[in-house]
Amino acid sequence: MDTFALLFQGLTVAMQPINLLYALIGVTLGTAVGVLPGIGPATTVALLLPITYKLDPAGSLIMFAGIYYGGMYGGSTTSILLNTPGESASIVTALEGNRMAKRGRGGPALATAAIGSFVAGLIATVALAFIAPYVVKFALAFGPREYFALMVLAFITVSAAFGDSALRGLTALFIGLTLGIIGIDLQTGQARLSFGVPDLLDGVEVTTLAVAMFAIGETLFVAAQGTRVPDTVEAVKGSVWMSRQDWARSWKPWLRGTLIGFPIGAMPAGGAEIGTFFSYATEKRLSKHKEEFGNGAIEGVAGPEAANNASAAGTLVPLLTLGLPTSATAAIMLAGFQQYGLQPGPLLFVNSPQLVWGLIASLLIANLMLLVLNLPLIGLWVKLLTIPKPWLYAGILLFATLGTIGANPSVFELGMLLVFGILGYGLRLFGFPIAPVVVGLILGPLAEQQLRRALAISQGNVAVLVQSPIAAVLLTLAVLALVVPIILRARGKGQVLAQVAADND
């Protein structure tokens, strides 16, 4: 069957009223958490995992994807009006967007961000639908060693390739990998790193770790900064509609941003942040209004916002076709699949086409909903930003603990939440990235499984890992992704990499 037929079938799944409702809940929640500081899409999906355990898999996954897309839209609102990015992929938007808002052009800035996100989300989702079947065909030839090599590459790009320090990225990754080996070894039934504690035999819950690291760690960190600089919300002055000139200056950056963002998200190359920086640099170089950059150039909002949404869609390519998460949100969505006994990868396309194509089609609908939520209703979201900080973070902790209590209200589980929360605070304090810990915890056991399979086939011969051309290429890329940035940093060219740090979601 060709892609159009499959996508159409998916649309019939996505158009079922109950799935439309899930999508609406997802995009609404996603926009809200994207707008709010201190809580992002990764945390929100993690919070919802225990709550959605009893729901229909297709519906919940549609909701999670809606949260992911919504988070990308909502983040831009905070960046533009508050100069504090709601999530890390919106850092660049803050550069020009906040300047525009200060000059009374907040409305058009929000509009170009929302419409650009819509255009990019639409194109990128269609691209996802067309590329996925090819990747699936390619991936069917993958054996354990190719998967292992692919995961090693993902580990390196998520932890060491970007950010200001390979050391701290790798350390965060290996903390995650260490947490990943806790519990019963599935192949031999032996308990590892459990020290006779029965609660540890099942391993560390991804949801507990993610919620603790992101929500509690962030709350502690914000609290520890004391009351330093009060944030000022820029009021939206004037019309939210863009002038003819705004349109003329926006449409090319939207398309270019999509073109940059999608491949970066689709490759195992880390989160949505990277594309936004490239897009910003490109727009700055190509603009006829270079003098406006730094003072509120609309291209600097349009391009990066498109790139950021296109990346989010791109991230779903490796997640759905290979089971490979390349951002924290994708990692937690993988946990969401696993909760229903589903393993994303080529076989999912064969075994559950309804679910996969329903999910992809629902993204198109989610995009449309987001455009409506973010343009006419923008004033509502801005009100969220006026919640005083104490009440906001108190509410975040209420919901952060809710998921864990619902899953397992034991003192032990809540204790883990506290310990990992303090760990998350410590990591932030010393400049360690958080995402690699989460990716390591969830991807580590899968990588180990593939490695042991590959070595069992070869009877322990390690050379077999590089004897397949695909695996050899992937491992070479991984080595390059590790070594080249270290050399760049040593030569004092690390600032660019530091800016591209994949921070939160």
Partner 1 sequence: MTEAGHLSTKQRRPDWAALFIGIGLFAIAALVAFDASRLGGAASYARIGPQTVPYAIALVLAGLGLWTVIEAWRGDFPRRERQEIVPVLWIVGGLIIQMTTIRFVGFSISTGLLFAMTARGLGRVNLAFAVVVGIVLSFLVWILFARVLQLTLPAGPIEHLLLPG
Residues that bind partner 1 (CB under 8 A): 50-51, 54, 164, 167, 170-171, 174, 177-178, 181, 185, 187-188, 190, 192-193, 195, 216, 219-220, 222-227, 388-391, 393-395, 397-399, 401-402, 405-406, 409, 411, 414-415, 417-418, 421-422, 425, 429-431, 448, 451-452, 455-456, 459-460
Residue 183 belongs to what H/E stretch? strand 183-184
Contact 164, 497 (CB under 8 A): yes
State the minimum distance, in angstroms, from the CB of residue 265 to partner 1: 28
Contact 136, 346 (CB under 8 A): yes
Distance CA 395, CA 39 (A): 11
**What are the two backbone dihedrals, phi and then psi, of residue 229, each rounded to the nearest 5 degrees?**
-110, 120
State the minimum distance, in angstroms, from the CB of residue 315 to partner 1: 26
State the minimum distance, in angstroms, from the CB of residue 434 to partner 1: 15
Give the residue from 309, 246, 262, 253 showing the smallest Cα distance to 281: 253
State the minimum distance, in angstroms, from the CB of residue 175 to partner 1: 8
SS (H, E, C) 276-311: HHHHHHHHHHHCCCHHHCCCCCCHHHHHHHHHHHHH
State the minimum distance, in angstroms, from the CB of residue 190 to partner 1: 5
Q: Which is nearer to partner 1, 215 or 313 (CB)?
A: 215
Amino acid of residue 226: G
State the minimum distance, in angstroms, from the CB of residue 428 to partner 1: 10
Q: Which is nearer to partner 1, 294 or 415 (CB)?
A: 415
Give the residue from 176, 437, 438, 423 showing the smallest Cα distance to 333: 438
Q: Which is nearer to partner 1, 141 or 456 (CB)?
A: 456
Q: Which residues of 158-180 are buried (b: 16+ CB within 10 A; e: fewer)?
A: bbbbbbbbbebbbbbbbbbbebb
What DSSP line would sit under 217-258, residue for residue? HHHHHHHHT-S-S---PPP--S-SSPPHHHHHHHHHHHHHHH
Q: Which is nearer to partner 1, 144 or 358 (CB)?
A: 144
State the minimum distance, in angstroms, from the CB of residue 116 to partner 1: 34
State the minimum distance, in angstroms, from the CB of residue 375 to partner 1: 29
State the minimum distance, in angstroms, from the CB of residue 444 to partner 1: 8
Q: Which is nearer to partner 1, 238 or 426 (CB)?
A: 426
State the minimum distance, in angstroms, from the CB of residue 219 to partner 1: 6
What DSSP line would sit under 398-431, residue for residue? HHHHHHHHHH---HHHHHHHHHHHHHHHHHHHTT
Q: Which is nearer to partner 1, 305 or 503 (CB)?
A: 503
Q: In sequence order, what are the beta bridge partners of 191?
A: 184
Q: Which is nearer to partner 1, 102 or 389 (CB)?
A: 389
Give the residue from 152, 192, 141 showing the smallest Cα distance to 450: 152
Q: Which is nearer to partner 1, 187 or 476 (CB)?
A: 187
Residues 6+ apart with CB under 8 A from 384: 32, 35, 36
Q: Which is nearer to partner 1, 142 or 393 (CB)?
A: 393
Q: Which is nearer to partner 1, 285 or 459 (CB)?
A: 459
Distance CA 100, CA 106 (A): 6
Torsion 67-68-73-75 (CA) sign? positive
Q: Which is nearer to partner 1, 167 or 350 (CB)?
A: 167
State the minimum distance, in angstroms, from the CB of residue 436 to partner 1: 12
State the minimum distance, in angstroms, from the CB of residue 485 to partner 1: 15
Give the residue from 44, 103, 95 showing the smallest Cα distance to 294: 95
Q: What angle do CA 374, 59, 212 make, to 5 degrees?
A: 75
Q: Which is nearer to partner 1, 318 or 444 (CB)?
A: 444
Residues 6+ apart with CB under 8 A from 291: none
